[in-house]
Structure 1
Amino acid sequence: MKSTIKCPGCGIEINVEEVIAQEIESKLTSEYKKKSAQQSAIILKEKEKLEKEKEEFEKKKAKENELFLEKLEKVKKEEAEKIKKKFEEEKIKLEKDAKEEYELKIKQLEEDNEKRKNENKLLKQRELELLRKETELKEKQEQIKEETEKQFLEQREKLAADVKKREEEKHLLRVKEYEKQLEDQKKLIDEMKRKAEQGSMQMQGEVLELVLEDALKAEFPFDKINEVAKGAKGADVIQTVYNKLQQECGKIIYESKRTKTFSDGWIDKLKEDMRAEGATVAILVSETLPKNHDKPFFRNGVWVCDFNSVIFLANIFRDSIVREFAIKSMQENKTELKDLMYEYLTSNEFAHKIEAIVEGFTAMKSDIEKEKNAMNKLWKEREKQIEKVISNTIDMYGSIKGIGGKAIQTVKSLELGSGDE
């Protein structure tokens, strides 16, 4: 049975069921496309509108529309149930999809975290490898040191057989050479006195002398480190070497220079000071090295180096002096052994060996520094990647939490403020 009403104005009969059904269907189709969160409010609003229309309609045609109202209520109830059911299904599906996506992201995060742990493990292994290399470097230095001492002893024995013959041949030439060097040295000293810098340059030189003296005292606490008085003739610092029995074994003299240019005259002067002092080794420490020299070198009986290398050289020469003294004390001819030691320490062979040691040490140290810098750079890049992953995960978690609400389980480590606990 169709429910119709007649329009009071135009007299046209209207199929109420069809009109209401079309209106409800149109509204439901429009409202279904909107967000799920708004559907309940729209249904309530539609219900209120229909209630108002029903009241107005009942006032005019109460008797005629009793059946219509019953059917209308039934239709509204059925449609409301359908909408509610559809809404619940969509909500369940949305929550399920959100949960699956969240679990997938969490799984990916855990996999990334495991990957980072493995990478950190590799980095830790690399760090241990660097420490191992440093240990090997120290052992290599000790080995080189022992080999140098061994070669020195072998060379001393080899030279001992020829020393008398060679000394007799060289004696006359050496005397003349010394006389010529003394004359040249006097001229050089006079020239240097005329050109000596005053004021700040002198102060800078004194500061370098103090730093050198302090460094030697710290490195060799059992030796006597004496600073030559200002204005006195001779080297800047004299190191008297003592063995474990507090026996004087020999001397190393040092001259420090802090100028913008290097002078070859310094070498001749220090060599003369070495002879006057009776020292075994002379080391010239200069802030500026000659052109084409960036590491310690041996010239005319004197070792030349910068401040960074002086302690390294001092250790090598000191050990050689102590060992030679031990050998010399067991020999009768002390003068001959001293000359042998001096000749060997001033020979090109010994100079080349020391240069090889310094080059090997410098190269190994440079390699370790490069590896350390590379590892530090890699660690910083990994930290940035981890921070980026954590930030993106927190953003994703917040978005999912906003959609699913309490249906999404709480992850404490991703909640705001958890880092302060």
Structure 2
Amino acid sequence: MSLLQRHPVPVFHHDAEHRHAPAHAEDERCPWCDQAIPHEKFSAIRDRIAAKERQQYAEMTARLKEDFAREKAELAARVREEAQLALQTEFAERLKAAEETRLAAEAARIAAESAFNQQRELLEQEKTVAVLAEQAKAFEERQKLQERLALLQKQIENKTAQEIGEGPEADLFELLRGAFEGDRIRRVAKGLQGADVIHEIIRNGQVCGKIIYDSKSRNAWKNDFVTKLRADQLAERAEHAILSCNKLPQGVQQIHVQDGVIIAQPQRVVVLAQILRRHVIETHELRVGNEGRDEKTAELYAFITSDRCKQLLDQIALQAQRMLELEATEERAHRLTWERRSKLIRSVQKVHTDLCFEIERVIGTGEDAADDPEFDLGSEG
């Protein structure tokens, strides 16, 4: 119900006759009792009625404005309350949805971490199993090698002296062939008389002379070694004879001359052969007689057994050993570099695998990653 309906305003109507009639006293009547009244009194009553109407209209208008303002304020407050309630409800719903999303993400993260930890533990277990398998394999191989070594040692102990000398003799033959490619070097077959190796020195297509060699690997020295090689030298008419032996006569070191035979440790044989070969070539080109040749040979043997020659040979051996050590050091450095590079490659492969796993986990295709040939770098070697 509107304000005008709740508070009707009394309206006083005057007939047109009364509003426009001439001002005659006998015609003026009271609007309430309809009695005739004088014109002056009628005008006063009419003015009071108009003033009353205006006052009532003003009061009614004020009440209406107050009621309208109050209802408007109440409506605005009710709208604000409803809007605030709606916002609170919407915020609560959004907060609840966000919390559910966070809990779901947290659960997914925990599940992914658990799966990743399980995979890492599985990889660690596989790695441990592989390492143990390699260690077991290495242990078995080491055991086999030790058994093989023990068998070889037993076989060596059971070998005859001739069989023991076969290895050093073959080594000496190969060393001489490598050092003197232009000469004629041959081995004497087992069971035949003669030295182990015959070395014919070739110069300009001609044989200038001979050097014969015997190789002995024994636990003790015997003078028969020299006697036998000296006889072979005379039979071959060789200029020189070298006995390569790991055991020298008592009190002798490195090189010794006995009964015209040069006795030397195996590592000195090739150097001595080079010296003797040059002596043979020079005496051949100078066509020195037997007497002069024997004299020069004696001088050469004296030099070979001198301290000066031993010093020079020691220097050669020392420098050669240093070169071998340098080569070994370089090889170890290369091997260390290769091992470090291999470890770095494996580390990069592992990080790449972890990165791929995390990416696949985030985008949700982790199950298909195992089928990707690029997922595991380790399989490519």
If the length of structure 1 is used for normalisation, what is the TM-score? Answer: 0.45
Higher relative contact order (CA 8 A, sep 6+): 1
**Computing the radius of gyration over CA atoms, which structure comes out larger, 1 or 2?**
2
User: What is the TM-score with the length of structure 2 in the denominator?
Assistant: 0.49
